[in-house]
């Protein structure tokens, strides 16, 4: 399984998750799960060695790691969540702020993972949810189904071409040649 808390959370010293990370990782390592811990070297330098099953892999694109993982444990950031969805990887999300709560809620409602809010995070609870998700064939199937749905989407280049045509010169809604839809204002 892969564990990541993105690029911002490990640097925010006032978030409870930062202090909780080491005991959570230790608890997971005690259960003999192979952990790929994706974080920068500066953050990892503060953490003790976890076990022979925990490997610090540094900052690496999640799309390279997640296809070989049974589970992603993360903060629920956009990049991590979308990479896991595209890989068909179930998720345990530990959101901390902003859109992370919405992302976690959507994953949970889709049946592709679980969410634990900051006030409930304990090493035992996280380890219990990890164990449940690793054994949950329904959640794994739903995550795989979402990945298939993502694969069936038209390529982004097609969407860009369509938007360019719709907003381009001569379109009924787009700006004309030499015009801009941004107005200059004074005194602002």
Q: How many structural domains compose the chain?
A: 1
Predicted local distance difference test score (pLDDT) of residue 50: 67
Predicted local distance difference test score (pLDDT) of residue 175: 55
**Residue 174 belongs to some domain of the structure:** no
**Residue 182 belongs to some domain of the structure:** no
Per-residue pLDDT tens, the chain, 188 aa: give them.
Answer: 999 988 777 677 676 666 677 788 888 888 878 889 888 777 777 666 766 778 888 888 999 999 999 999 999 999 999 999 999 999 999 999 999 999 999 999 999 999 999 999 999 999 999 999 999 999 999 999 999 999 999 998 998 988 998 988 876 665 555 554 544 444 44
**Residue 179 belongs to some domain of the structure:** no
Q: What is the pTM of this model?
A: 0.81
**Residue 168 belongs to some domain of the structure:** no
**Residue 24 belongs to some domain of the structure:** yes
Q: What's the CATH number where 90 sits?
A: 3.40.50.2000
**Residue 170 belongs to some domain of the structure:** no
**Residue 38 belongs to some domain of the structure:** yes
Strands (E), the chain: 2-4, 35-38, 54-56, 72-74, 91-93, 113-115
List residues bridging with 92 in a β-sheet.
Answer: 73, 114
Query: What is the domain extent for residue 47?
Result: 2-152
Is residue 127 within 8 A of residue 102, CB to CB? The reply is no
**Residue 162 belongs to some domain of the structure:** no
């Amino acid at each position: 399984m892969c564990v990541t808390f993105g690029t911002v959370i490990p640097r925010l010293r006032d978030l409870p998750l930062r202090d909780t990370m080491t005991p959570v990782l230790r608890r997971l390592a005690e259960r003999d799960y192979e952990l790929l811990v994706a974080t920068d070297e500066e953050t990892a330098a503060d953490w003790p060695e976890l076990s022979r099953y925990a490997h610090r892999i540094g900052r690496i694109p999640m799309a390279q790691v997640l296809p070989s993982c049974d589970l992603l444990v993360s903060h629920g950031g956009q990049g991590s969540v979308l990479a896991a969805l595209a890989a068909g990887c179930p998720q345990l999300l530990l959101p901390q702020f902003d859109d992370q709560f919405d992302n976690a809620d959507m994953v949970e409602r889709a049946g592709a993972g679980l969410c634990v809010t900051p006030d409930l995070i304990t090493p035992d609870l996280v380890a219990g949810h990890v164990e449940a998700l690793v054994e949950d064939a329904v959640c794994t199937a739903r995550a795989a189904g979402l990945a298939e749905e993502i694969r069936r989407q038209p390529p982004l280049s097609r969407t860009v071409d369509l938007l360019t045509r719709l907003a381009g010169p001569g379109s009924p809604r787009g700006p004309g040649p030499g015009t801009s839809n941004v107005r200059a204002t004074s005194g602002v």
